[in-house]
Structure 1
Amino acid sequence: MSLRDEFLRLLREDEEFRYAVMGLLGVADLRSDLKRLADALDKVLEVVRGLAEAEARHMDLTGQVFEITKQLAEGQRQVLEVVKGLAEGQARLMDAVRQLAEGQVRLMEGQARLMDAIKELAEGQRELAENQRGLMNMTRQVLETVQKLADVEARHLEITQRILEEIRALKEGQEELRKGQEELRVGLDNLSRKVDGLSRSYGGLSRNMGLLIEQNVRHYLPAWVREVLGVNVDRLRRRVIEGVGEFDGYAEAGNKVVVAEVKETLRLRDVESFLEKINKLRQTMASKEVIAIIAHVFRGRDYTKAIELAKANNVKVVRHIGEEDFEEIV
């Protein structure tokens, strides 16, 4: 066996020899370094394990952050939808505000029209009060007319009573009944005609009222003409002038001609119609002074315009209060 082989055997079999050789060769220091290196590696592994655990925790946190980020994104989306809804609601609110503003404008216009209507109503009430006073003055005439109609009705009742008495007499015998049939028929015809006449009288009551009022005004108007205008006229007569028209009242006094139009209710068309006749009369009687008068009791719907037109054409307008009492309007 060679020295080399023996040396190698000892290294394998003899542990002390092996350590001695190692000491001679500086292997002991190498083992110490290896041990330190192993310790350092253990520490590194410990750090690596800590890092791995930290990484694992980091991954968990990252997952949680990701989940929270998703939730935040969803919440942001919902917030955007809410903001969008708020924007749409604000647009609708602006439309509603604009509509409200338009409604307020219309309300103000309606209020202005209402105030005008109230003024017209107040004017109408004032005119109504005046018309009512005039109507009270005419009530006496109406009562007189009704009394006349009542008298007529009483006479009709007397006739009816006589007919009934005749009917009772006719019942006394068949022969007398046959003889009186013709007389009864005639009597009933007369009664029917009289009842029809009474019905027409009641139907024409309103027309008669207008005629009575006009007659009453025409009767008392000359006294006002004498007192206020100083024109000596006794009576105003109805007259038709060829080429001019018909006047409700007409009278001449010296170089003056008094013409009158009498109306129960004065309207604008009445003034217009009267002016046409007045203009023709003034041309026909250019050498005389024509005094034009419109007398009335009640006021029509366009009364103010009628008064303005009369005033512009030098036509006097008076309102009959009762008997000789007249109110000079123009």
Structure 2
Amino acid sequence: MWLTLKDEFLDLLEKDREFRYAVLGYLGLDEIIKRMDTHQQTIQKILERLEKAEEERAQIRREQTKIWEEVRGLREDFNKMREEQVRLREEQTKIWEEISELREEQVRLREDFNKMLARVERLEEGHIELRKGHSRLEMAFKRLEGSMLVGFDSLRKFAGVTFEEFVRAMLSGSLARMGVLPDGARLERVVLDGEEVNLFYEDPLIVGEVTAHAESSDEVDKLLRKAGVAKEKYGREPMLFLVILTAPQKVAREIRSLAEKHNIDLILGKET
């Protein structure tokens, strides 16, 4: 289809930039168009900068939002810390109150302890006096036992019993009355692993030696040897008794000293 001159002219204006500017130059508008193009480029750059600035502002807003979120989190943490601090103060106050109560209780306990200690001291003093009295009574009783032993020894001869049998019967009755032996129980004469024991009871374990006359303190050694045999056999410490009808004064003193040392109940009749 053949183009008219007008169509060709319009086509060139649209497609050919130099032709367009040449036409505008003839019309005296080329300078305005150039300025408008420059302004357009400037505006484009401004728009690009504005767009970039908007992106930066959006980025700043996002970062600011994060900052505010962190501030909000910090504020929540701070509030929690403040609440925890309040709880700690309350607990600390309770602890100090409990410490104060404990101190008061400690003072009361110390006062009670001092009172108890004073009472114990008084009891110890009384116990010491009682022990002294008991020792005096025990010594008097042993002297009485010794005197009775000598007196009854004369009677047992008329009864036709040996001194050992007499002592065994007498001591059995005394221990039963004291509650050491059961009612009706009697000490016996036994042989333990080859050792002859004059006075014996298994439970409670009792080992005793009886002699009419002691020439030396060997009687104590004999008793201790037999006690060792009984301890080895039954696995417990025995009660020890040593009954002597007569002994020289010097020997009697030695035997008393050894009997006290080894916790032996000694019944001594007469010192010659």
Identify whether the pair has TM-score above 0.5, normalized to the shorter chain.
no
TM-score bin (small chain): 0.3 to 0.5
How does the TM-score come out when normalised to structure 1? 0.37
How does the TM-score come out when normalised to structure 2? 0.43
